[in-house]
């Protein structure tokens, strides 16, 4: 079924690329994705954001951060506020990435607080949800992903929802080379859309971009993106090489 949702391919560089390396990658990316028929986003480390914003000005590449604190300012050593990101010219931010949940004590509640703070500051948010291997084997994937999504969106209004993208990232598929099958991705992305329908109404749910992430690469992107409820990708490893990332963007543009 045709839809008019925005397809978004976003690179999550994670803790990779010095500013010097970021310049090299962006220089290679600009011509490689210039003809994209989808939205292209790069989420760089904090240290490369200012450079990325500067380098991509006037191009079709949008810049995002990988995390944001929920307070506006104050004694939060090492943290970065939404206002600081906006001030730099950053447009997107990722919240709730599984690596932050796993290694930095992120909870559904803090994901919600970060998401609200980012939206209230005018950022677009890529909210990550997804089950780990044990949860998949226990057969609780749908309940878990529904719960994560519902809590992440507490207090997010219908008016703010167009600024929200949901990224379904099964933890067992991240960085493992073990991609979810396109049917598995569709099943969970469809279930997220159903939940959005319950929360915001079916018409609104049909407009939300839902991405898949987890070992997406040039070889599997087209098949995954061909599924009706998979509207884009959040790309880790393959976003660090211009040619691989551009191939995924090309697959999303077809
Ligand atoms: P990989 O593409 O390296 O599996 O990472 C996916 C991811 O976590 C993107 O946020």
Give the CA angle between residues 195, 200, 206 to the nearest 5°. Answer: 75
Q: Give yes or no for residue 8 CB within 6 A of ligand 1.
A: no
Cβ(237) to ligand 1 under 6 A?
Answer: yes
97 is catalytic: yes
- What is the distance in A from the centroid of ligand 1 to the CA of 76? 28
Cβ of 13 closer than 6 Å to ligand 1, yes or no, is no
> 81 and 69 in contact (C-beta within 8 Å)?
yes
Q: Is the CB of 234 under 6 A from ligand 1?
A: yes
| Dist CA 125 CA 122 (whole Å) | 9
The binding site for substrate comprises: 12-14, 175, 215, 236-237
- Report the predicted TM-score, pTM, of the whole model to 2 decimal places: 0.97
Q: Cα of 194 to ligand 1 centre, how many Å? A: 24
Cα 170 to averaged position of ligand 1 atoms, centre (Å): 10
Which positions make up the binding site?
Answer: 12-14, 175, 215, 236-237
Q: Which atom of ligand 1 is nearest to the CA of 99?
A: 8
* 89 neighbors 51 (Cβ within 8 angstroms): no
Q: Where are the beta strands (DSSP E) in the chain?
A: 8-12, 39-43, 61-65, 92-95, 124-129, 164-168, 210-213, 232-235
Q: Is the CB of 174 under 6 A from ligand 1?
A: yes
- Per-residue pLDDT tens, the chain, 254 aa: give them: 468 899 999 999 999 999 999 999 999 999 999 999 999 999 999 999 999 999 999 999 999 999 999 999 999 999 999 999 999 999 999 999 999 999 999 999 999 999 999 999 999 999 999 999 999 999 999 999 999 999 999 999 999 999 999 999 999 999 998 899 999 999 999 999 999 999 999 999 999 999 999 999 999 999 999 999 999 999 999 999 999 999 999 999 98
């Amino acid at each position: 079924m045709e839809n008019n949702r925005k397809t978004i391919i976003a690179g999550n560089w994670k803790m990779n690329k010095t500013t010097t390396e970021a310049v090299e990658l962006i220089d290679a990316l600009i011509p490689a994705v210039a003809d994209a028929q989808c939205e292209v986003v790069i989420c760089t480390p904090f240290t490369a954001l200012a450079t990325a914003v500067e380098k991509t000005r006037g191009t079709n590449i949008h810049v995002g951060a990988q995390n944001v604190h929920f307070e506006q300012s104050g004694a939060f050593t090492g943290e970065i506020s939404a206002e600081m990101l906006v001030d730099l010219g950053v447009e997107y931010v990722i919240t709730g990435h599984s690596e932050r949940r796993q290694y930095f004590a992120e909870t559904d509640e803090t994901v919600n607080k970060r998401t609200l703070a980012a939206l209230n500051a005018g950022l677009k948010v890529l909210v990550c949800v997804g089950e780990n291997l044990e949860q998949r084997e226990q057969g609780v994937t749908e309940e878990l992903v529904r719960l994560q999504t519902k809590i992440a969106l507490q207090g997010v209004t219908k008016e703010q929802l167009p600024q929200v993208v949901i990224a379904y990232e099964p933890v067992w598929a991240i960085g493992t080379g073990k991609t979810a099958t396109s049917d598995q991705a569709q099943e969970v992305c469809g279930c997220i859309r159903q939940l959005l329908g319950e929360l915001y109404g079916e018409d609104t749910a049909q407009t939300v971009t839902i991405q898949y992430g987890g070992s997406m690469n040039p070889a599997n992107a087209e098949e995954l993106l061909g599924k009706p409820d998979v509207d884009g990708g959040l790309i880790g490893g393959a976003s660090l090489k211009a040619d691989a990332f551009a191939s995924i963007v090309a697959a999303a543009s077809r």
